[in-house]
Amino acid sequence: MFCDQCGNLLATGQQYCSRCGKQVIGRLQVVSRNRVQEHVRILAILWLAYSVLNVLGGVAMIVVANTIFGRLIHVADVPGEITVWLRPLLVSIGSLILIKSAAGFLAGWGLLQRESWARILALVVGFISLLNLPVGTALGTYTLWVLLPARSDEEYRMLARKQAA
């Protein structure tokens, strides 16, 4: 709490402001801020939106791999050695992107519902997305900042219990 005359920070139980001497009217209450509660909804929505973008990228990669290196390769004069490994590689990468987007969507949905398993899944997907510059790195960093500290585990469990009750 702050003094309403000079703006000085007041301690709990303090009767007079140490800077201006004004009497503190009322009781000082300690208000603890819950970082997880403040940020978990935003984090969940960001994971849902980011997962939609990943689905679009994964589907596009699979379509391009099958179109260019699947059917159209017979029309162009491209050596067959390239398609032997490049098409399966691009389809595999696209499939991994789709799996990651499904995990991100599940994490976002779980965070919105305050499911007990969603925090761990969001942390795992957050670590993985750190490699995706720039949006994935920003979202991964934000996820780790909100959910990784030890105090966040307790705060999230409290939220999950409140939601279940």
Instruction: Supply the pLDDT for residue 31.
Output: 45
Regarding predicted confidence, which is higher, 91 or 1?
Answer: 91
- C-alpha 15, offset from chain centre: 43
Section 39-67 average pLDDT: 96
pTM for this structure? Answer: 0.74
Instruction: Supply the pLDDT for residue 144.
Output: 96
Section 130-154 average pLDDT: 94
| pLDDT band of 89, cuts 50, 70, 90 | very high
Per-residue pLDDT tens digits for 66-81:
888 776 555 556 566 6
Q: Where are the alpha helices (DSSP H) in 13-149?
A: 35-66, 80-113, 118-129, 135-147
Instruction: Supply the pLDDT for residue 118.
Output: 96
Section 130-158 average pLDDT: 93
Instruction: Supply the pLDDT for residue 13.
Output: 76
Instruction: Supply the pLDDT for residue 30.
Output: 46
C-alpha–C-alpha distance, residues 155 and 161, integer Å? 10
Per-residue pLDDT tens digits for 102-120:
999 999 999 999 999 999 9
C-alpha–C-alpha distance, residues 39 and 145, integer Å? 10
Nearest to 141 by CA among 150, 131, 151: 131
Regarding predicted confidence, which is higher, 102 or 155?
Answer: 102
